[in-house]
């Protein structure tokens, strides 16, 4: 790409206003000291270089230094503890890591930090990690960003994995950008699809621009490659029959365990069962005409022993609680059955529920995107279909 440099010695008082006016993006501006500079508005259209070739010079960028990919090997998962167990998203990522590693002949690694980790390390081994790197220390009992980042940095410097997958939890979202910055590499957040090429470049796919496009992101010149993934985007794998992974105990120097954050007390919040834990969901969207009609949805949910969920528009309208929202800005769900009523099926919504075992959709538009995901599609008005469904459920019990 390069950048445009201005030869200040050639800018006379007569040329200065002409130079400022020539840029269609107002990128050439006069500073307080009278000198002209080029701001971030420059689009490298090079009009100024053509009009004033002796003043405006294009400086080409230095060639990109490519990383030696052979020095980076392995698919790693930064495991997380939730309560008294490994967070399910870490196990889901281990399943995806096994899939990716099999394509390129790499090992699967898990890195775990905390206190009294023996049982947790065995869990990671049981779910297919070839090596579990354990940083067991009292100072790591609670998540604090500085020491936990130091743990991951120490692991990366020692093992040099090609890919590092991190759960899209509050802790993971805090940790991932910090460790990516330390490694001077990129990070793709909230990936919905992951694949890997033969040269170990990770294909990272996620919705972008409000879900209007699916961005396909590669990091060909840097290692490791970082990606975060939300809970329930990938299926929970089956444990391996005969775990053969190795547990490697690691340690950090005392100064790396220090933190400016001190934990004074911990209050355990009572666990809540949300829509992400439901086996059956009734989801509703713009097809519902008024909030009073939620009564119909509640009757269907009661008949199916289901929880009610919905799209962002109903949450913003105040018809549903934000905890009931499905999608990229809401919750990710993977129930056994989801009944989608009056939902068009935007990319944002689809990314949050495409892992459902059975999807039934009701929509008046035969071309609605939700039908591309649905196992059973019903073209019709939810106000006509749902009463008939309730009648049939009542007859069959």
pTM for this structure?
0.78
- Residue extent(s) of CATH 3.40.50.620 domains in the chain: 69-257
Dist CA 366 CA 305 (whole Å): 28
**Burial state string for 318-350 with b = 16 or more CB within 10 A and e = fewer than 16:** ebbeeebbbbbebbbbbbebbbbbbbbbbbbbb
Dist CA 292 CA 167 (whole Å): 38
DSSP 3-state assignment of 57?
A: strand
Per-residue model confidence (pLDDT) at position 109: 98
Alpha helices in the chain, H assignment, sequence order: 15-22, 47-51, 88-104, 118-126, 145-159, 170-182, 254-257, 294-304, 312-316, 347-351, 382-396
State percent of the chain over pLDDT 90: 78
Architecture of domain 275-396: 3-Layer(aba) Sandwich (3.40)
The 8-class DSSP code of residue 382 comes to: H
Regions of the chain with pLDDT less than 50: none
CATH class for the domain made up of 69-257: alpha beta
What residues pair up with 225 in beta bridges, in sequence order?
A: 163
- Residue extent(s) of CATH 3.40.50.1220 domains in the chain: 275-396
Residue 24 in tokens: 């269609």
CATH number for 3-59: choose from 3.40.50.720, 1.10.3470.10, 3.30.70.20, 3.40.50.300. 3.30.70.20
Answer for the pair 121, 132: CB distance below 8 angstroms, yes or no. yes
CA distance readout (Å), 374 to 185, 205, 351:
38, 21, 13
CA distance readout (Å), 8 to 3, 60, 331:
16, 19, 55
Dist CA 245 CA 75 (whole Å): 14
pLDDT tens figures, 95-123: 999 999 999 999 999 999 999 999 999 99
CA distance readout (Å), 260 to 145, 241, 257, 266:
10, 43, 10, 17
Residue 89 in tokens: 């998203």
Indicate the Cα dihedral angle 154, 159, 162, 163, nearest 10°: -50
- What's the chain's Rg over C-alpha atoms? 27
Residue 23 in tokens: 């840029």
Per-residue model confidence (pLDDT) at position 214: 83
Dist CA 204 CA 193 (whole Å): 6
Per-residue model confidence (pLDDT) at position 262: 86
Per-residue model confidence (pLDDT) at position 263: 86
């Amino acid at each position: 790409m390069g950048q445009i440099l201005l030869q200040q010695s050639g800018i006379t008082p007569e040329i200065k206003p002409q130079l400022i006016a020539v840029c269609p993006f107002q990128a050439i501006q006069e500073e307080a000291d009278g000198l002209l500079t080029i701001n971030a508005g420059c689009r490298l259209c090079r009009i100024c270089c053509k009009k004033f070739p002796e003043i405006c010079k294009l400086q080409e960028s230095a060639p990109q230094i490519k990383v030696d990919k052979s020095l980076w090997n392995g698919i790693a998962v930064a495991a997380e503890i939730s309560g008294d167990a490994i967070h399910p998203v870490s196990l889901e990522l281990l399943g995806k890591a096994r899939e990716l590693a099999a394509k390129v002949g790499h090992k699967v690694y898990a890195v775990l930090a905390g206190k009294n980790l023996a049982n947790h390390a065995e869990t990671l081994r049981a779910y297919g990690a070839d090596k579990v790197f354990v940083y067991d220390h009292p100072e790591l009992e609670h998540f604090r960003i500085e020491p936990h980042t130091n743990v991951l940095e120490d692991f990366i410097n020692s093992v040099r994995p090609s890919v590092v997958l991190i759960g899209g939890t509050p802790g993971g979202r805090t940790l991932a950008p910090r460790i990516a910055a330390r490694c001077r590499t990129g990070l793709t957040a909230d990936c919905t699809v992951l694949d890997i090429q033969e040269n170990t470049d990770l294909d990272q796919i996620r919705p972008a621009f409000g879900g209007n496009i699916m961005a396909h992101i590669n990091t060909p010149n840097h290692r490791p490659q970082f990606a975060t993934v939300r809970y329930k985007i990938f299926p929970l794998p089956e444990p391996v029959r005969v775990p053969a992974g190795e547990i490697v105990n690691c340690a950090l120097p005392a100064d790396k365990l220090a933190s400016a954050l001190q934990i004074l007390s911990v209050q355990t919040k009572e666990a809540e069962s949300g829509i992400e834990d439901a086996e059956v969901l009734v989801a509703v969207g713009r097809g519902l005409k008024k909030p009073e009609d939620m009564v119909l949805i509640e009757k269907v949910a009661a008949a199916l022993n289901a929880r009610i969920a919905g799209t962002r528009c109903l949450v913003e309208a105040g018809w549903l609680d934000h905890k009931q929202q499905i999608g990229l800005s809401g919750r990710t769900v993977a129930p056994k059955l989801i009944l989608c009523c009056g939902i068009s099926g935007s990319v944002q919504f689809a990314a949050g529920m495409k892992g459902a075992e059975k999807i039934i959709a009701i929509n008046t538009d035969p071309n609605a995107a939700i039908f591309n995901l649905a196992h059973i599609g019903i073209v019709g008005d939810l106000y006509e279909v749902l009463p008939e469904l309730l009648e049939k459920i009542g007859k069959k019990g």
